[in-house]
């Protein structure tokens, strides 16, 4: 940490495009705040310009795309550390594992290892990771309903590869995995159960049937 004591835990939500990470992040934050916890929300990429460069470059050169994403994390690190010093929990929509899944899965094993080392030096390692697992065909259907054109990484072939990479990381790193087919409320409940975060002593829990 740079000049501040880290007290909060970093929870990363991961998954291919279209699984509902942003919606889940907001729902988890609401539920955890009701339990008396202070929660910060973050989103990657933090800098839209760097994110656009990473997306464009990554479709042609995975290593260059990964470097742009890594630079974005490095630039955003002081703000992330401040959030962790101020909150019990910080929930981030994506982390460096996203780069390992998207760009890393297109690299040779030796390059993937170099990329992971680079990520660890650029930002804060998540304390817990929740993978929202959804079949690429279902994720693409959701993206289509958003009424916008697909990005260069939102292609079936790419998402099939990335989904396999995410599932492999989840198994080897013992992440929490939730079923992305669940409706939003049930998905949030499943993710919260998997995290097993205790409520703060003395907090008032909402009555049954109220939101």
Residue 104 vs residues 24, 101, 111, 164: alpha-carbon distances, Å: 25, 5, 8, 12
Q: Give the separation between CA 107 and CA 88, rounded to whole angstroms.
A: 36
- What are the beta bridge partners of residue 10? 90
Helix, strand and coil in the chain, % to nearest 5: 55, 10, 35
Q: Which two tokens stand for residue 33?
A: 């705040």
In tens, the pLDDT along 72-94 reads 999 999 999 999 999 999 999 99
Which of 46-50, 154-158, 169-173 bottoms out in mean pLDDT, i.e. has the lowest?
154-158
User: Taken in order 133, 170, 51, 151, is the CA torsion positive or negative?
Assistant: negative
User: Taken in order 12, 15, 17, 20, is the CA torsion positive or negative?
Assistant: negative
The answer, yes or no, to whether residue 53 has pLDDT greater than 80, is yes
Q: What is the pLDDT of residue 1?
A: 47
Q: What is the pLDDT of residue 89?
A: 98
Q: What is the pLDDT of residue 59?
A: 81
154-172 in b/e form (b: 16+ CB < 10 A) is beeebbebbbebbeebbee
Q: Which domains does the chain have, with CATH numbers?
A: 9-195 (3.40.50.300)
List phi, psi (to 5°) of 208: -60, 135
The answer, yes or no, to whether residue 148 has pLDDT greater than 60, is no
Quote the pTM value: 0.90
């Amino acid at each position: 940490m740079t000049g501040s004591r880290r007290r909060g835990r970093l929870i990363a939500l991961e998954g291919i495009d279209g699984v509902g990470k942003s919606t889940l992040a907001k729902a988890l934050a609401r539920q955890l705040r009701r339990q008396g916890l202070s929660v910060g929300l973050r989103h990657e990429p933090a800098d839209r310009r760097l994110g656009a460069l990473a997306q464009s470059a990554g479709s042609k050169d995975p290593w260059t795309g990964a470097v742009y994403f890594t630079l974005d994390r490095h630039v955003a690190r002081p703000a992330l550390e401040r959030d962790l010093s101020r909150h019990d929990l910080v929930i981030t929509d994506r982390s460096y594992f996203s780069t390992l899944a998207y760009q890393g899965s297109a690299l040779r094993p030796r390059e993937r290892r170099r990329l992971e080392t680079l990520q660890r030096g650029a930002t804060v390692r998540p304390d817990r990771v929740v993978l929202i697992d959804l079949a690429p065909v279902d994720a693409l259907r959701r993206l289509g309903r958003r009424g916008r054109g697909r990005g260069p990484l939102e292609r079936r072939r790419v998402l099939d590869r990335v989904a396999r990479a995410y599932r492999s990381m989840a198994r080897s790193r013992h992440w929490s995995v939730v079923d992305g087919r669940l409706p939003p409320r049930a998905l949030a409940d499943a993710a919260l159960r998997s995290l097993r975060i205790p409520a703060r002593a003395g907090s008032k829990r909402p009555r049954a049937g109220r939101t």
